[in-house]
Amino acid sequence: MEALAEFRSALHFDPQNEFAQQRLRDAAAEWAPKLPSTPFVLEDGGEVRVTPKLARMDFHFRGDSRELLSQVAAAFGVTTVFDDSVTPRRVRFDIQGVDFYTAMLAACAVTRTFWTPLAETEILLASESPENHRQFDRMALRTFYVPGITAPKDLNDIVNLLRTVFEIRFVTPQPQAGTIVVRAPQRALDAATQWMEALWDARPEVMLDVHVYAISHSLTRNMGLHIPNQFQLFNIPVGALLALGGQNIQDLINQLISGGGINQGGSQAISALLAQLQSQQNSIFSKPLATFGGGLTFMGVSLGTASAQLSLNESRVKTLERASLRVAQGNDATFRIGTRYPILNATFAPIFNTPALSQVIQNNSFQAAFPSFNYEDLGLSIKAKPLVNGSSDVSLQLELQFRSLQGQSINGVPVISNREYKGSINLMDGEPAVVAGSVSHSEQRSLTGIPGLGSVPGLNKVMTTNSKQEDDDELLIVITPRVISRGSQEQSSEVWMTK
């Protein structure tokens, strides 16, 4: 407890101390309560048991079967009550050095009967038949707690084994509590208990230490001189008339709404139209131009502007992700790194323009319906299923998936790139292994300028615009399995059940 307090104090002053965090987890694990690894009896209803004399006797008898059963029981201080189904018959019985249970088992086999206790010194004898067993067999109730159950299917498998192997009809699983309630004759219940305690092998548990190393480097460089290579020729008198006689933008939008050209409920469409019209309203005389001619043939040529570019943008990102996943043998452990990206499915807008809708839009109280969208997992997804072998090896079934935005879209839907890997490996306990790696390098160069100047070595570095973009991404995944629980290794080969 003192170590726990000291490590907590160290983390209070330095929350990022990884050594203190690991030692705190180790110390806390030592004080954690140990869970049972094998099933045990949680509750036992019990039944009436016979307490005969502890002795061994010899029997040599010839005569009626009822008299034989009475003499054998009386020799051990037990009285008998016969059912009407027991019919007298002539039998011969010879046995030596047996106790009560062995003697009664042999006598019942000779007389074709069975017995069931009524009190500590009294038994009931009936003829051997399935109907009599259902009527006279005493049932006992017992509840088993089964640890290590992670899915209802595991509990159902045990229930099916109890029903088929031991022929127990009344078995009730309780998956939420991890228990099984069994009602059966005492001898069948004792055999089932022995099997549950001896043959059950709890699932081993594995701690998977996952390390993800990611390095990203991007470089963007633009340099050179931009010389205008596009010119616009226009008639100056006609251009002046168009600039002076332009229509008001708001009047144009009102005409489109009244004619059904655009939907007044779609605010995004109206905003896009306004931006487009505003850009078209820029006068052609706002740019430098050269003129020639006169009168109706007075022409103008717009001249672009020359500009120089010199920019550099470089970034480096290094990321280390570490996670510890505890999982039972045969179950999947899933680890995801990334984001959940929303993808739009549908948007909603009014179909008809009504006076009520116009009034709502004018007073700025219109609210568009919430769109429909789905989330897609982007980034890295790891799914591992461990299997512990007897030689301390751990087999891992791995599924890795890399998903990212490709930068393109089709009809407004983004394109998602996908890379997957499926495989299996064998590792020793505590052995790290690089299970996957990815190296991506992309380089894009572009040159913009006037033909001829861009082909001259040396001159093309100055008289043209050169753009270079590099992207480097590296990813490394290391998984270390550690077996923290191997389950029960003790197994019994035989289970006896008396009739």
HEC letters along 28-51: HHHHCCCCCCCCEEEEECCCCCCC
Asked if 484 and 205 touch (Cβ cutoff 8 Å), the reply is yes
- The first and second tokens of residue 105, run together, are 């088992």
Whose tokens are 């591992």? That residue is 384
Residue 21 makes CB contacts below 8 A (sequence gap 6+) with 11
- pLDDT at position 267 is 55
pLDDT: which is higher, 50 or 250: 50
Dihedral sign computed on CA atoms, order 458, 462, 467, 469: positive
pLDDT at 275 over 70: no
**Domains along the chain?**
1-32 (no CATH), 36-48+138-201 (3.30.70), 57-136 (3.55.50.30), 211-218+310-344+374-484 (no CATH), 231-261+283-303 (no CATH)
**Average per-residue pLDDT for the chain:** 78
Measured in degrees and rounded to the nearest 5, phi and psi for residue 239 equal: -65, -35
Give the pLDDT of residue 25.
63
**pLDDT, tens only, 141-178:** 888 888 767 677 878 888 888 888 888 888 888 888 88
Percent of the chain with pLDDT over 90: 15
Q: What is the largest CA-CA distance in the chain?
A: 149
Do the Cβ atoms of 61 and 93 come closer than 8 Å? Answer: yes
* Model confidence at 31: pLDDT above 50: no
Nearest residue to 149 (alpha-carbon basis) of 41, 29, 35: 35
**Tokens (6 digits) for 86:** 């027991």
Amino acid at 146: V
Q: What is the pLDDT of residues 78-102, one digit of tens each?
A: 999 998 888 888 999 999 999 999 9
Phi then psi for residue 485, to 5 deg, are: -155, 125
| CA-angle at 307, arms to 301 and 308, nearest 5° | 155
Parallel, antiparallel or unpaired: strands 122-127 and 79-82: parallel
Percent of the chain surpassing pLDDT 70: 74
Contact 97, 66 (CB under 8 A): no
Sign of dihedral through CA atoms 125, 130, 135, 137?
positive
The pTM assigned to this predicted structure is: 0.51
- pLDDT, residue 282, reads 53
Cβ atoms of 146 and 488 within 8 Å: the answer is no
Q: Are strands 139-145 and 179-185 parallel, antiparallel or unpaired?
A: antiparallel
What SS3 string covers the chain? CHHHHHHHHHHHHCCCCHHHHHHHHHHHHHHCCCCCCCCEEEEECCCCCCCCCCCCEEEEEEEEHHHHHHHHHHHCCCEEEECCCCCCCEEEEEEEEECHHHHHHHHHHHHCEEEEEEECCEEEEEECCHHHHHHHCCEEEEEEECCCCCCHHHHHHHHHHHHHHCCCCEEEEECCCCEEEEEEEHHHHHHHHHHHHHHCCCCCEEEEEEEEEEEEEEEEEEEEEECCCCCEEEEHHHHHHHHHCCCCHHHHHHHHHHCCCCCCCCHHHHHHHHHHHHHHCCCHHHCCEEEECCHHHCEEEECCCCEEEEEEEEEEEEEEEEEEEEEECCCCEEEEEEEEEEEEEECCCCCCCCHHHHHHHHCCCCCCCCCEEEEEEEEEEEEEEEEECCCCEEEEEEEEEEEEEEEEEECCEEEEEEEEEEEEEEEECCCCEEEEEEEEEEEEEEEECCCCHHHCCCHHHCCCEEEEEEEEEEEEEEEEEEEEECCCCCCCCCCCCCC
Q: Which residues contact 339 (CB under 8 A, 6 or more apart)?
A: 378, 379
Q: Measure the CA–CA gap between 321 and 316, rounded to whole angstroms.
A: 17
Non-local (6+) Cβ contacts of 12 within 8 A are none
Residue 235: the pLDDT is 73
Distance (Å, whole) CA 231 – CA 289: 10
Q: Which residue has the higher pLDDT, 496 or 294?
A: 294
Q: How confident is the model at residue 9 (pLDDT cuts 50, 70, 90)?
A: confident
